[in-house]
A and B are shown apart, each in its own frame.
Chain A
């Protein structure tokens, strides 16, 4: 099905490759892979002095899925708005497909597809009208517009709803339409701002599949932000964790997980009033552990070999007369990485699924 995305595009790969390489000549070319998105010291201050994005560096290679992970308010949307020319950086610079986001804003816009947070649609238009206008404004050749829009409606499974007003669509349908709208001109680089927030698991999976297919079959580069760790883990080749405008960790999910020590031992204390400080001191005294932290009513221990660490930990707590409720041993997840780097769990704001997908979809 996604061959549709590629089919007419198959006529131009050589030209595209040539152009991409030609304009990337000023950038770092590592081997033959060019950078799709580069940022240097990118910063945005909102008056009076809120550093929403506080000096970030990015190097995202073509053909990758880049996951931009962070809690609400960490600066994800502000970053996307700067990279897609909607917002001027206060400092620093960025290029997308080799073009400067300030000086060559129009060229950047023509090259990228963007689906903003909270599907930004006109509720009075129909789905088809939305895509037709989008295709025309993106200068899809006039003879191809209808065909392209028809194909996209089929791909995102909105054919039946195509001629209904967007206002009657469910959240999942709106998000799929928004995604299709970002793809009309077959962009090589696509920005998605929290594409699955607030969606039920089925809709979320559908969006994941689109992203994976486009990336695998057509080599489309994705920059996607998310508050969901499992989303970043499943989709992204590389993730960056944002915390108050700064990138606190960056790398492949597997790398990041490995970086925090092999295992995670979580000791839940029996009584919420138990002194976590005493427990912390007791466990820290053991030595040989990678890191120890208190999170809520638990002591979290990172260590190379979890199974052999459990006995000394329980013993130490026992000696310190801290009662233990539960001990669990786990391989690290991105959540552990997040916790380790930021000192707290990520809180996704809008977890509740929004009800069953519209029957018409």
Chain B
């Protein structure tokens, strides 16, 4: 058990080191969400505040940027895994006595930690531009935790695809799936303004609850019901993606 934890620790370090040495991939995970944040706030901010009766559209838009950054950061595992498989390095790892699960966890934790860092930077930039934080300093920490857990849960999906297919294109496609999920959630307007079919889709979309949980912390404060729903939605994602990733891994050595 302790051996396995040490293995996971070493593999997580390896995953983080890779990103430090190949920063090109990581830069977009900061740049794209902040760019969209600036553009949406600039273009829709005034209109939306009036139309939706919002006090601060920046606060409203911030969680969207965070989830974009988190999903981008959490898609690294899948690409790195495909590279390992193509290079044959993954076989070398499979040949070691470490339990299979540590190969998956090492990647997932690497993503989770990077997502927390990405989120911290996005939160800081947001704070500078006046998003505010109703839940106080602890609210920032709560958002970091939510984002990190979301990153862990979400990364499992891409990892499953990477392990199952070994194909870079497929791994990429796994990441793109996030966009419909994000835009079928109340990303730009509150759910009350959705047409009924979209509102229905938003209601069954787990991303909705993660978004609303973070949004509550920023614009309302400690709304435990919404925070609980966000945690539950993350748990649902994890409950689907984790077994999927482990199944794909087992399939690889059959």
- Pair B88/A109 contact, Cβ less than 8 Å: no
- Pair A85/B95 contact, Cβ less than 8 Å: yes
- Pair B21/A124 contact, Cβ less than 8 Å: yes
User: Interface of chain A, helix or strand or loop or mixed?
Assistant: loop
Distance A101 CA – B12 CA, assembled complex (angstroms):
29
Question: What residue in chain A is nearest B93 (Cβ atoms)?
Answer: A137
Distance A84 CA – B91 CA, assembled complex (angstroms):
10
Q: Considering the complex, which residues of chain A in the window 178-210 have a beta carbon less than 8 Å from any beta carbon of chain B?
A: 181
- Pair B10/A85 contact, Cβ less than 8 Å: no
On chain B, the residues within 8 Å of A110 by CB distance are 97
Q: Which of A122, A129, A136, A139 has the most CB of B within 10 A?
A: A122
- Pair B97/A137 contact, Cβ less than 8 Å: yes
Interface string of B98-114 (1 = CB under 8 A from A): 11000000000000000
Distance A121 CA – B96 CA, assembled complex (angstroms):
14
- Pair A133/B10 contact, Cβ less than 8 Å: yes
- Pair A122/B98 contact, Cβ less than 8 Å: no
- Pair B96/A116 contact, Cβ less than 8 Å: no
Chain A interface category by residue count: 20 to 34
- Pair B91/A138 contact, Cβ less than 8 Å: no
Distance A138 CA – B17 CA, assembled complex (angstroms):
21
Q: Is B89 an interface residue (CB 8 A)?
A: yes
Question: What residue in chain A is nearest B98 (Cβ atoms)?
Answer: A137
On chain A, the residues within 8 Å of B89 by CB distance are 120-122
Once A124-B22, A133-B14 are accepted as A-B contacts, the answer to whether A114 and B95 lie under 8 Å apart by CB is yes
Q: Is A213 an interface residue (CB 8 A)?
A: no
On chain A, the residues within 8 Å of B98 by CB distance are 137
Distance A129 CA – B89 CA, assembled complex (angstroms):
14
Distance A246 CA – B7 CA, assembled complex (angstroms):
39
- Pair A124/B18 contact, Cβ less than 8 Å: yes
Question: What residue in chain A is nearest B95 (Cβ atoms)?
Answer: A114
A281 to chain B, nearest CB (A): 50
B76 to chain A, nearest CB (A): 13
Interface string of A86-116 (1 = CB under 8 A from B): 1110000000000000000010011010101
B62 to chain A, nearest CB (A): 34
On chain A, the residues within 8 Å of B10 by CB distance are 133, 136-137
Chain B interface category by residue count: 20 to 34
Once A109-B96, A136-B7 are accepted as A-B contacts, the answer to whether A122 and B91 lie under 8 Å apart by CB is no
Q: Is A123 an interface residue (CB 8 A)?
A: yes
Q: Considering the complex, which residues of chain A in the window 156-185 have a beta carbon less than 8 Å from any beta carbon of chain B?
A: 165, 181
Distance A139 CA – B84 CA, assembled complex (angstroms):
22
- Pair B253/A123 contact, Cβ less than 8 Å: no
User: Interface of chain B, helix or strand or loop or mixed?
Assistant: helix
Q: Is A125 an interface residue (CB 8 A)?
A: yes
On chain B, the residues within 8 Å of A181 by CB distance are 92
Question: What residue in chain B is nearest A191 (Cβ atoms)?
Answer: B95
- Pair B88/A116 contact, Cβ less than 8 Å: yes
On chain A, the residues within 8 Å of B96 by CB distance are 109, 134, 137-138
A179 to chain B, nearest CB (A): 12
Q: Is B3 an interface residue (CB 8 A)?
A: yes
- Pair B3/A139 contact, Cβ less than 8 Å: yes
On chain B, the residues within 8 Å of A124 by CB distance are 17-18, 21-22
On chain B, the residues within 8 Å of A84 by CB distance are 95
B87 to chain A, nearest CB (A): 6
- Pair A125/B94 contact, Cβ less than 8 Å: no
Once A136-B7, A139-B97 are accepted as A-B contacts, the answer to whether A120 and B91 lie under 8 Å apart by CB is yes
A53 to chain B, nearest CB (A): 16
Q: Is B6 an interface residue (CB 8 A)?
A: yes
- Pair A88/B87 contact, Cβ less than 8 Å: no
Q: Is A118 an interface residue (CB 8 A)?
A: yes
On chain A, the residues within 8 Å of B87 by CB distance are 120-123
Q: Is B254 an interface residue (CB 8 A)?
A: yes
Question: What residue in chain A is nearest B102 (Cβ atoms)?
Answer: A137
Distance A123 CA – B18 CA, assembled complex (angstroms):
10
Distance A129 CA – B13 CA, assembled complex (angstroms):
11
On chain B, the residues within 8 Å of A119 by CB distance are 88
Once A86-B253, A87-B253, A139-B3 are accepted as A-B contacts, the answer to whether A122 and B84 lie under 8 Å apart by CB is yes
- A sample of 19 cross-chain residue pairs with beta-carbon separation below 8 angstroms, ordered by A number, consists of A88-B253, A109-B97, A120-B88, A120-B89, A120-B92, A121-B87, A121-B88, A124-B22, A129-B17, A133-B10, A133-B14, A134-B92, A134-B96, A136-B6, A136-B10, A137-B93, A137-B96, A137-B98, A139-B3
Q: A121-B89, A139-B3 are in contact. List 5 more A-B contacts (CB 8 A).
A: A106-B97, A118-B88, A122-B87, A129-B14, A137-B7
* Closest CB pairs A-B (n = 9): A120-B88, A137-B96, A110-B97, A122-B89, A137-B98, A109-B97, A120-B92, A114-B95, A136-B10
